Amino acid sequence: MIHRVQKGSVPAKPHTAFYVEGRLAYEHCFTRRGFEGAYTILYHRREPHWVRTEEELGAHPGASPTAWDGPVRRRHFLTPQLPEGGEPFLGRKLLLANKDVGVWIARPTADDTTLVANGDGDELIFVHSGRGRLECPLGVLHFSPGDYVFVPRALPYRLRLSEPGFFLILEGRSFIDVPRQFRNPAGQLLMGAPYSHRDFQEPAWPDGGPATLGAPRVVTLLRHGRLSRLEYVHDPFDVIGWDGQVWPFVFPIRCFQPKTGLVHLPPTIHTTFAGGGFVVCSFVPRVVDFHPQAIPCPYPHSSVDCDEVIFYAEGNFTSRRGVGPASVTLHPIGLPHGPHPGRYEASIGTTRTDELAVMVDTFAPLLPSDHARAVEAPGYNQSWLAGENGGVME
């Protein structure tokens, strides 16, 4: 979706005979929006679609039911209290969801033991901590703290960790892409966009191709919130080459180029990715508004058709007290929200902020899961009362 990439060997023309070492290669068209959207064409040594066995595993173990409970309130979830362990895909816990997006947290300590594929949506994995590599039929990506890792829907992959991870995972039930307004009519990212083509890291092509990665032939596939396990006859990574615009990428959050105005600009300037029914925004260290009387801290506001989720990664968030690394707050439609006491006033005259956070604004209400309720900090909705900490950590 960023731009066209080619790795390995491909024939001069699609859909024509392509012989490799005397054997006809098998073309595999990986398409979106039917056949009208972005696509990638892979060339496999052997038939990529032969399945030997399939097995139904039931609901994803981390996908607990979501439901609203109690009065409408601003909520604070202490995700570091979620248990650590397990694999990135099977060990993740659903925190919040609506029809458009699922918000998951994973704290894996082990690699994915099979290939995995998310048939329910694109994944945008924000790496809060941990390092490792993503292996897939298109190549290898390395990730480290502060990276967004984008994985296209239904692409088989596995994560291999060199350090335990702490991931925020956004599952876009339609597609996740860069916002359309950041492109010129030729499809390039505009010079005024908050990033350039060079900021998106492509999968590296291993010497000898992805077949050298020794991938399992078993894929654990998520569809309708349920897991199936399929064993393919041939290595899903036996790819000779590919070209196209559907590929996983790494985008380091610190490559986001923030904008600053004379006076405060709305949060939309932080928009980084867009999905159907939601946007993802990046708050990165930056110079703040420069009018002598500017109030750099966000003004109280009622966004009457947006639920707002913020994942706090690092630094001192300008408008909040009582939140720590990996805190997640949910400010729902229907309530005004704004800075904690003292933050509004204290921001006047400041020149910089060191906050690092990811925000998700959704246009349909989000519902919390049992996992979210288990780690909710009591009293957050009252934590704006001056002089009281409302039970949130400080």
Provide the binding-site residues for Fe ion, judged by CB under 5 A: 308
User: Which CB, 114 or 318, lies closer to Fe ion?
Assistant: 318
Cα distances (Å, whole numbers) of residue 319 to 67, 259, 288, 300, 383? 28, 18, 13, 10, 13
Q: How far apart are CB 246 and Fe ion at their closest, in Å?
A: 32
User: Which CB, 42 or 357, lies closer to Fe ion?
Assistant: 357
Q: How far apart are CB 308 and Fe ion at their closest, in Å?
A: 5
Q: How far apart are CB 282 and Fe ion at their closest, in Å?
A: 15
139 neighbors 205 (Cβ within 8 angstroms):
yes
Q: In the complex, which residue's CB is closest to Fe ion?
A: 308
Burial (0-12, 13-18, 19+ Cβ within 10 Å), 336: exposed
Burial (0-12, 13-18, 19+ Cβ within 10 Å), 69: exposed
Read off the amino acid at residue 319: S
3-class secondary structure, 391: coil
User: Which CB, 177 or 308, lies closer to Fe ion?
Assistant: 308
305 neighbors 331 (Cβ within 8 angstroms):
no
Put the strands of the sheet holding 5-8 in their side by side order: 5-8, 239-244, 39-44, 26-31
User: Which CB, 170 or 230, lies closer to Fe ion?
Assistant: 170
Cα distances (Å, whole numbers) of residue 147 to 254, 262, 315, 316, 387? 8, 30, 16, 19, 37
User: Which CB, 171 or 308, lies closer to Fe ion?
Assistant: 308
3-class secondary structure, 241: strand
User: Which CB, 135 or 308, lies closer to Fe ion?
Assistant: 308
219 neighbors 117 (Cβ within 8 angstroms):
yes
What distance separates the 2 farthest-apart alpha carbons in the chain? 77
113 neighbors 87 (Cβ within 8 angstroms):
yes
Q: How far apart are CB 17 and Fe ion at their closest, in Å?
A: 56
Q: How far apart are CA 65 and CA 128, in angstroms?
A: 25
User: Which CB, 122 or 308, lies closer to Fe ion?
Assistant: 308
96 neighbors 62 (Cβ within 8 angstroms):
no
Q: How far apart are CA 357 and CA 187, in angstroms?
A: 28
Q: How far apart are CB 329 and Fe ion at their closest, in Å?
A: 10
Q: How far apart are CA 172 and CA 104, in angstroms?
A: 11
Q: How far apart are CB 99 and Fe ion at their closest, in Å?
A: 22
Matching residue, tokens 């040594």? 45
In this structure, the strands spanning 5-8 and 239-244 are: antiparallel
Q: How far apart are CB 225 and Fe ion at their closest, in Å?
A: 29
Q: How far apart are CB 300 and Fe ion at their closest, in Å?
A: 9
User: Which CB, 87 or 308, lies closer to Fe ion?
Assistant: 308
Q: How far apart are CB 52 and Fe ion at their closest, in Å?
A: 50
User: Which CB, 140 or 333, lies closer to Fe ion?
Assistant: 333
Q: How far apart are CB 259 and Fe ion at their closest, in Å?
A: 17
Q: How far apart are CB 301 and Fe ion at their closest, in Å?
A: 6
Q: Of 365, 266, 361, 373, which is closest to residue 309 (Cα–Cα)?
A: 361
User: Which CB, 241 or 332, lies closer to Fe ion?
Assistant: 332
Please give the structure tokens belonging to residue 315: 């630094």
User: Which CB, 92 or 331, lies closer to Fe ion?
Assistant: 331
